Amino acid sequence: MSLSSPVVAIVGATGAVGVEFMECLEKRKFPLKELRLLASARSAGKLMTFKGQNLTVTELTESSFKGVDIALFSAGGGISKKFGPIAVQAGAIVVDNSSAFRMDPTVPLVIPEVNPEAAKAHKGILANPNCSTIIAITPLWPIHQKNRIVRFIASTYQAASGAGAAAMEELRESTRAHLEGRDYQNTVLPHPYAFNLFSHNTKIDPANGYNEEEMKMVKETKKIFGDESIRISATCVRVPVLRAHSEALMVECERPITPDEIRAILAKAPGVKIVDDIEKNYMPMPKDASGQDDILCGRIRTDISDPSGKSFCMFVAGDQLLKGAALNAVQIAELLVK
């Protein structure tokens, strides 16, 4: 295996994240020797463009990973569970974008701006965190390093892209139908999407009332921060936005902290950009975050409900397909070739 110039395979190449994988690899000049595109049988034969050349998508099979050094997976948890170990057995290192391995104690869960050293402990598989987790804690981590975060509450405003390309198309078509006064029957998401929002479409645990997306944020943050004592609660909501998630964060630190201190920390932090124009009331918006690598941070203010001065509020927005998925995975792969 030559990780200085690896053979890279994308599993789920024709999906929304797969397309972003290709664009990130090209944009970041990832030093690969060869790129292979893998997908289901129905996508086999499709042509996709990479660096000005047409590449043919081939069917994902158990023999697809011969000669592959790094495999980027984004085809769902079931595919990852089946083919991830097969890829490792064939000699590849897997960077998986699904939830299949995230909470496996033997699998590193990595955000390169937060815990890049964790990638070294891999045993063939590395996991990409959930998009809402990445977008919340990438800007929180540098604050945590200066003034330990003991608790945070997240309210998310999650885009259609988190449910895949089909959900994005359903949002487009249902919006068009609504504006034209036509009936539209949703088939991808459980509720009408145009001009509507609803509780995140993952299963709710009847024991605690939290859905799977919310519990991912809780469990994954504790694993990435290496801190089981941090107290976290989340309310995750699907909103009619195409591809950027936004989140309102209420955060409690160990010691008092001021908005100016937070801005000073974030100004030097990798992967984030402050958008906090109070005079013009111009703050992070999914419109601006879409297509951007950085997570936008603003509405930075003291939490006036906490007289101790230890708490603050912040609003963030990040591209779900980029930093929330493909970009973070490619950054993990970059750690492997350094």
Q: Known catalytic residues?
A: 131, 245
Q: What is the number of residues in the chain?
A: 338
In the chain, alpha helices (H)? 16-27, 77-89, 131-146, 165-179, 212-225, 259-267, 286-289, 327-337
Q: Is the dihedral of CA 66, 70, 76, 80 positive or negative?
A: positive
Beta partners for 49?
54
Give the amino acid at 238: R
Strands (E), the chain: 7-11, 34-39, 47-50, 53-56, 58-59, 70-73, 93-96, 125-127, 149-158, 198-199, 231-238, 244-253, 272-274, 295-302, 311-319
Compute and round to an integer the Cα radius of gyration of the chain: 20
Say how many CA atoms lie within 13 Å of 218 toward its Cβ. Answer: 15
CB 3 within 8 A of CB 69: yes
Closest CA to 315 of 258, 267, 250, 261: 250
Q: Which two tokens stand for residue 88?
A: 């490792």
Give the amino acid at 219: K
Strands laid side by side in the 34-39 sheet: 58-59, 34-39, 7-11, 70-73, 93-96, 125-127
